[in-house]
């Protein structure tokens, strides 16, 4: 039987509960999840920095719902007689010339949000407690993925999560190969956390 440290398990459960309180396990489109991490939904186009506009445009070209949101932002800017940023203006020209088309709706995007959160928790736990994120099946060492799986089992049995969130060690292990877009965002987050840690030392 695999051995679990109470300290690490409690910390993992605490992190999962915190994300659950912010409704990060609900059916939230992954692109919207990423967009909200950078851009306030109440913002105007004129409020956004060049970096935020680049981020918004790149997501819009990949995701149909973000594309539609960008259309709303542009429509509001036109109604308010605001200046349209050059990059968005250029996108409009390419759309009009039919060089850019609206992306197709994604069916898997909402599951990506849950996977991103669980992988991020596993990475943070691994770094904080100096344990491996994953492991070989034959390994006796308990990994961060094991802690995430165990924490979810306990939280679900306690009725602490709404809705219930389920995953397995194998499902978490497969994500690194199956979802490069999610892994890319997790890696970006880990680099940001690492930089912030270095500044605070």
d(CA 193, CA 100): 35
Q: What are the pLDDT tens digits along the chain (201 aa)?
A: 789 999 999 999 999 999 888 777 876 788 888 888 888 877 888 889 999 999 999 999 988 888 999 999 999 999 999 989 989 988 888 888 888 889 887 765 778 999 999 999 999 999 999 999 998 877 789 999 999 999 999 999 999 997 889 999 999 999 988 999 899 999 988 988 888 766 554
DSSP of 171-197? HHHHHHHH-HHHHHHHHHHHHHHHHHH
The answer to whether 106 touches 88, Cβ cutoff 8 Å, is no
CA atoms within 13 A on the CB side of 77: 18
The residue assigned the tokens 């690492």 is 194
For the chain, the maximum distance between any two Cα atoms, rounded to a whole number of angstroms, is 66
The answer to whether 2 touches 146, Cβ cutoff 8 Å, is yes
pLDDT at 198: 64
Domains of the chain, by residue range, sit at 6-28+107-200, 30-96
pLDDT at 28: 75
């Amino acid at each position: 039987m695999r051995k679990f440290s109470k300290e690490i398990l409690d910390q993992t459960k605490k992190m999962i509960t915190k994300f659950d309180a912010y409704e990060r396990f609900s059916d939230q489109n992954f692109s919207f999840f990423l967009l909200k991490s950078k851009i306030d939904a109440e913002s105007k186009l004129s409020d956004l920095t060049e970096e935020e506009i680049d981020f918004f445009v790149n997501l819009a070209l990949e995701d149909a719902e973000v594309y539609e949101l960008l259309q709303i932002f542009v429509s509001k800017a036109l109604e308010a007689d605001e200046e349209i940023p050059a990059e968005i203006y250029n996108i409009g020209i390419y759309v009009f010339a039919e060089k850019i088309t609206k992306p197709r709706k994604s069916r898997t995007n909402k599951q990506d949000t849950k996977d991103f959160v669980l992988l991020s928790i596993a990475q943070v736990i691994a770094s904080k407690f100096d344990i491996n994120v994953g492991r070989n099946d034959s390994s006796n060492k308990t990994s961060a993925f094991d802690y995430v799986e165990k924490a979810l089992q306990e939280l679900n049995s306690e009725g602490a999560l709404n809705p219930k969130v389920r995953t397995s060690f194998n499902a978490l292990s497969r994500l690194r190969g199956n979802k490069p877009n999610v892994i890319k965002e997790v890696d970006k987050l880990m680099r940001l956390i690492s930089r912030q840690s270095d500044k605070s030392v």
